[in-house]
Chains A and B, each alone.
Chain A
Amino acid sequence: MLKISNLHVAVGGHEILRGLTLHVPAGEVHALMGPNGSGKSTLSFALAGREDYQVTEGAAAFDGESLLGIAPDERAARGLFLSFQNPMEIPGVATMNFIRTALNAQRKARGEDEMSAAEFLKRMREKARLVGLSDEKLKRPFNVGFSGGEKKRMEMLQMALFEPRFAIMDETDSGLDIDALKMVGDVVNALRDGTRGFLVITHYQRLLEYIKPDRVHVLASGRIVKSGGAELAHELEKSGYEQFIEAA
């Protein structure tokens, strides 16, 4: 599903990813863990197509087709979703209008019919209940005045609504309380139907209590330095990243 081979990514002339190789097959959840500055967010931005994250070497393919050189909106239409670590506040942008426009832009690009206003509203309310966002929050400009946790809920709302084929979740757990962590787990688990893939980027093991990963990878100094099963996350929780930083 997502195949990354020897990926090198530079930001502002500095190489951050230095030969990252990762394969997430359809139906699997992989966790990516690593110390600060190891390149986790760089990977998520590069995969989502941020222009100032330059791929200088290597390949990244989604469903057998290269992602490189593809515009971010085309990646979204192909079913790639990034849950941002620090979601934007966008004053003046009406939340419902934006999400509906985005959803229909994706559907249009895939050759699907637009979703009617009534159907959209129904689904939006259903998903808002699932992630714990009130109607009042949906009426505000996008994320304006939201707490950090509420912004993460808004990310999860979009993920639940867009039903992406592959989701990259960049530290979705940071700043979330226990109830919210469970909600994130519920959203992911509801989408786990054997055809979708997930890359869950996190510092801690606690989110993985709710989302059981098939594989856990450790990223240090821009490459994967160790991979293993779910038990690797427990090991990291005990021993930390120091050994990997030294090894890298």
Chain B
Amino acid sequence: MARALLINPTAFEAGLLAAAKARATSPPRLAALEAFAKTGLPHRRLEAWKWTDLRAALREGFPPPEPANDVIAPSIFGGLGAYEITVMNGAAEWTGAPPVGVAISRGAPGEPAPGAPAPEDAGDHPLANLVSAMADERIEITIDEGALIKHPILIRRIAGAGAFHQRARLRIGAGAKIVIIESFDGLGRYFSNSLTEIDLGARASLSRLVLQDGSGEGVEASLAAVRLGPEAEFHQTALLLGAKAARIETRLAYDGAKARATLMSAATLAGARHADFTSHVAHRAEGCLTRQLHKTVLKARARGVFQGKFLVARGAQETDARMRANALLLSESAEAHHKPELEIYADHVECAHGSTIGALDENALFYLRSRGLDDEAARALLIEAFLGEVLDDMPHPAIAHIFRQRIAHWLECGR
């Protein structure tokens, strides 16, 4: 039944549908399977995916998953004292008691989550449907009301050969404060598909740090669906190193008045890597504030995509939302695609967006060289300065330092 809806599925899609059908043991999973079967993997003929064609990227499929390798290199976030949840090939493991005020458990994957995006925000998201149909479990992280969690929680996703679907739900109680780091890493050919549902209670505060650092043959997709209660604060900084195809997507909705969100992201891409940062912010409560900045630096034949949308509902008066995206092309073969969008139905709002795509400023380059910096050092300084704006106001200097080191390594090695 489900299979028949998708016309000309690729061999990989047919395999996904068969696997999902075998798992469709509950009504929610069956519904997710049917929804996925209507679209299949997202492809370039869908407007939201026109620059990130996952169907094409995954056409070749994968060998069956291999057993997880027990030896995992330490995370670059290792020195932060974070409580670590490792998700190896889709299977989550954690040891020891979580910090006081934090509860972590495994939940059934299929049923709709209270923190899931509302249908009008999420649309019919093919990958969210796929995760719902395929994930075998869901990590449930609950932060008690008023808990101030000192050390970060690190969700470290690592993929080897194969296709993996993983789901996590984070509920942050009223007035609680926490830092969550999500890293996406992989070796060889793989498809890592994850959905993180985040629900912030009134006056809760979350800093989410994302590092996407996949392999050149991997395909990585992450969707975070975030709901903010009244006066909640959400700060997100993402660094994308790309993959064969990578998409980090954030869909955020204000459910309570006077909440604030800051979305900062940078993509540094070399070779033939591709990274897509997509966001959708739904202002549907009064007096909420969004600040968004995305920066991309592209070498060689890399491809960077930014799609950002602010949707301001009729009743969301006194919305204050600003978005800017800047891309730096270091090669004539690199491609940057930007699509900033505003859709506004309220009349007392301040909204703005801006976008630039260009090369390094030759005047600035000459100035630095005239002071004694060689060409390589001058370029590196300007690139770091360009990206610096994303990290300058990060609330966690130690994590900002790790991101800066990763960028410096990329500048030096292109990887």
Contacts and interface: CB of A to CB of B under 8 A. Distances in A.
A166 to B, nearest CB: 13
Contacts of B361: 88
B385 A102 contact: no
A49 interface: yes
Interface majority SS (helix, strand, loop, mixed), chain B? helix
Residue among B362, B367, B389 facing the most chain A CB atoms (10 A cut-off): B367
Given A93-B382, A101-B381, A141-B385, A88 B364 contact: yes
B374 interface: yes
A92 B386 contact: yes
Interface in A136-184: 141, 158, 162
A90 B371 contact: no
A92 B388 contact: yes
Interface string B349-369: 000000000000111101111
Interface in A77-96: 77, 82, 84, 87-88, 90-93
A169 to B, nearest CB: 13
Nearest to B390: A92
A98 B381 contact: yes
Nearest to B374: A73
B377 interface: yes
Interface string B373-391: 1110110011011111100
A103 interface: yes
Contact of A72 (B363, B364, B366, B384): B366
Contacts of A98: 368, 371, 381
A11 interface: no
Given A93-B382, A101-B381, A105-B377, A87 B367 contact: yes
A106 interface: yes
A121 interface: no
A71 B385 contact: no
B372 interface: yes
A48 interface: yes
Contacts of B367: 84, 87-88, 90
A98 B380 CA distance: 12
6 contacts: A49-B369, A52-B362, A73-B370, A101-B373, A105-B372, A106-B372
A72 B374 CA distance: 8
A76 interface: yes
A5 B266 CA distance: 50
Interface in B382-404: 382, 384-389, 392
Contacts of A71: 369, 374-375
A91 B385 contact: yes
Interface residues of B, number: 25
Interface of A: 48-52, 71-73, 75-77, 82, 84, 87-88, 90-93, 98-99, 101-103, 105-106, 109, 141, 158, 162
Interface of B: 361-364, 366-375, 377-378, 381-382, 384-389, 392
Contacts of B372: 73, 76-77, 102-103, 105-106, 109, 162
A162 B384 CA distance: 24
A76 B389 contact: no
Contacts of B384: 92
A90 B370 contact: no
Contacts of B385: 90-93, 141
A48 B371 contact: no
A70 to B, nearest CB: 11
A162 B372 CA distance: 10
Contact of A91 (B362, B377, B389): B389
Sort A-B residue pairs by CB-CB distance and give the 9 closest, nearest first.
A92-B385, A106-B372, A102-B371, A72-B369, A76-B372, A92-B388, A105-B372, A93-B385, A102-B372
Contacts of A51: 366
Given A73-B378, A76-B369, A93-B382, 19 more contacts: A52-B362, A71-B375, A72-B366, A73-B370, A73-B372, A73-B373, A73-B374, A76-B372, A88-B361, A88-B363, A90-B368, A92-B384, A92-B385, A92-B388, A101-B381, A102-B372, A105-B372, A106-B371, A162-B371
A50 B368 CA distance: 11
Contacts of A158: 371
Nearest to A72: B369
A51 B370 CA distance: 11
Residue among A71, A75, A76 facing the most chain B CB atoms (10 A cut-off): A76
A90 B370 CA distance: 14
A243 to B, nearest CB: 34
A82 B392 CA distance: 31
